[in-house]
Amino acid sequence: MPACLKIQLTKLEEQELLKLTHDPKIPSRTRTRAEILCLNARGWKVKEIADWVKLSENTIRKTISRWIIQGKEGLWDLPRSGRKRTWKEEDIKYLEELSEKDEKTYNSRQLSNLLKKERKIKLTPGRIRKILKKRSGNRNK
């Protein structure tokens, strides 16, 4: 049976973690980690936390261990590998301005073709929808 993991937080640490759990601008994985730590500091057992946040007990233990070893830095994900963006912020602003200025309504396929033709940027219609949806969600907050 694994050893019991229990952390103690200062008032300031607890306030910072609670603030993180409620901030929609913070990535959801980081918010969940902050919640895990708050619950653990309040005396919840690993199994109870795992049931509550619907993650494995092993994930809960790793989160607590990362806090013990790394502190606040352990809350955040490291940069992930992968291909770099082929588009720039200006390209998406161009599409948004085009949609706002022009009386014509564009679908994502038309926007994809415009980007390819005017800016030599190849983005699929689905990717354009995702990017624009994410940006409009951020603007509404």
pLDDT digits (tens, 9 = 90+) for 54-98: 999 999 999 999 999 999 999 998 888 888 888 888 998 888 888
Whether residues 126 and 99 fall in one domain: yes
Is there a domain that residue 84 lies in? no
Whether residues 23 and 58 fall in one domain: yes
- Domain count across the chain: 2
Is there a domain that residue 5 lies in? no
CA dihedral 29, 30, 35, 36 (to 10 degrees): 70
Which residue do the tokens 């494995």 mark?
56
Is there a domain that residue 4 lies in? no
Whether residues 67 and 108 fall in one domain: no
Q: Is residue 82 exposed (0-12), middle (13-18) or buried (19+ Cβ within 10 Å)?
A: exposed
Whether residues 33 and 67 fall in one domain: yes
pLDDT value at 140 more than 60 = no
pLDDT value at 101 more than 90 = no
Is there a domain that residue 126 lies in? yes
Quote the domain boundaries for residue 71: 11-75
pTM of the model: 0.60
Confidence of residue 139 (pLDDT cuts 50, 70, 90): low
